[in-house]
Amino acid sequence: MSENLTAAVSRELLERAAKLDAADELAPLRARFTLPEGVYLDGNSLGALPAHVPARVADVVGRQWGELLIRSWSESAWWTAPERIGDRIAPLVGAAPGQIVVGDSTSVNVFKAVVGAVRLHDDPARTDVLVDAATFPTDGYLAASAARLTGRRLIPVRAAELPAALGPSTAAVLINHVDFRTGRLHDMAALTAAAHEAGAVAVWDLCHSAGALPVALDDCGVDFAVGCTYKYLNGGPGAPAFLHVAQRHQGFFDSPLPGWTSHGDPFAMTEEYTAAEGVTRGRVGTPDILSMLALEAALEVWDGVRPDSVRAKSLALTDLFLDCVAEYVPGGLDGPDSRVRSMTPYAHGERGSQIALRCAEAPAVMAGLIARGVVGDLRRPDVLRFGFTPLYTRFADAERAAAVLAEVLGEVPAA
């Protein structure tokens, strides 16, 4: 490509980004966050800080804890926070109130959900737990432990092969809504229906979809779901995760971790355990109030935001980024001479809110990007991940990231 043509293409893409930013209905939301200089494209690992959260946390520490002390369990509504915040998350994942409880980590909730799903059957013929073979490692570790505990065997299966693998021996399936490496979006409605047709219980991991795109737990008939809150929900590092238990299963949910706060009468301090009614039986121990209330404050940035608008911007951002990479990077994208190849599907219906590029020099390239103020994420050995958070990512950020990627690739020797 000649220099004149390259400059013209660059101007065209810059103008396209500027027009998209000018027309972006979500653009005002960026002011609700504290953001560093440069381009931040790692919200799929840790979301940005909502600007009002520090003052809210200071109140929790200084007044609710410092002045009210033990009274805050009732006067500041600490005790009901897990269910209250669960109801705040519910519309973001397409669930009716009363089906989500917040607390513990994603890992702990995966364990509760998979064991609970297997125990719903109480059928020795249901010998198998299927797990997405490309799942985040912790999900696999916990699913294996849950299978051992319940006397089942764990069978890793690629999501595309899941319908064919289901059968009368399947007790439960654990599936990622969005693949953490590739950004591939799996069909929740179709895979849940396939699991139910086989008589199995469907458990979904929403860590890379909650807050990034519309999720329809109720419409899809999902049985259990888990998700973290520190990525696209911006709850802060180590923010508590959430557990979704469908209304129809709550009376039969037998948690493997029956802690005192999930007791029907927790302050009776009885020797025998009686599970609470509803989703409260998904609780375990004393809520982590500081993190919990930081999350509650952070969720206020979603007031008035429609998930469909978030999805539309996410797809437009990732489209622009892919187009810019294809034009700017020497050799283009996915061509015979290209040094980067997209692992993320181009089809909108199969794409989450991240772009994963395979690059042989990924460690050096990501280091070069970060040194120039473009923060993405490395997945060893050769994956560059870029997370697009529609609440605060600009189209100009997508164009800039692609341009800097091209610069860095021009300086890093090919492997």
Q: Which of 385, 388, 392, 395 is catalytic?
A: 385
**What SS3 class is residue 285?**
coil
Q: How far apart are CA 378 and CA 346, in angstroms?
A: 21
For residue 64, give Cα distances in angstroms to 268, 297, 397: 25, 15, 39
For residue 118, give Cα distances in angstroms to 90, 155, 162, 171, 360: 24, 14, 17, 6, 41
Residue type, position 301, single letter: V
Q: Is 286 left (phi over 0), alpha (psi -120 to 50) or beta?
A: beta
**What SS3 class is residue 225?**
strand
Q: Indicate if 254 belongs to the active site.
A: no
Q: Indicate if 112 belongs to the active site.
A: no
Q: Indicate if 230 belongs to the active site.
A: yes
Picking from 331, 220, 258, 295, the residue whose alpha carbon sits closest to that of residue 112 is 258
Q: Which of 33, 180, 230, 388 is catalytic?
A: 230
Q: Which of 136, 224, 242, 395 is catalytic?
A: 136
User: Around Cβ 82, how many Cβ atoms within 10 Å?
Assistant: 26
Q: How far apart are CA 260 and CA 250, in angstroms?
A: 18
For the chain, give the longest Cα–Cα distance: 80
- Asked if 178 and 352 touch (Cβ cutoff 8 Å), the reply is yes
Burial grade of 414 (CB within 10 A; 0-12, 13-18, 19 or more): exposed
For residue 26, give Cα distances in angstroms to 21, 31, 266, 311, 393: 9, 10, 44, 11, 10
Q: Indicate if 205 belongs to the active site.
A: yes
Q: Indicate if 385 belongs to the active site.
A: yes
Q: Which of 42, 128, 205, 377 is catalytic?
A: 205
Whether the bond between 256 and the residue before it is cis, its omega within 30 degrees of 0, is no
Q: Which of 231, 313, 351, 400 is catalytic?
A: 231
Q: How far apart are CA 102 and CA 240, in angstroms?
A: 6
Q: How far apart are CA 99 and CA 90, in angstroms?
A: 8
Rg of the chain over all Cα atoms, to the nearest angstrom: 23
Picking from 364, 365, 343, 362, the residue whose alpha carbon sits closest to that of residue 354 is 343
Taking each helix axis from N to C end, the angle separating 137-149 and 106-121, rounded to the nearest 10 degrees, works out to 40
Q: Tokens standing for 414? A: 């090919």
Residue type, position 65, single letter: W
Place of tokens 């959900």: 113
- Which residues are catalytically annotated? 136, 205, 230-231, 385
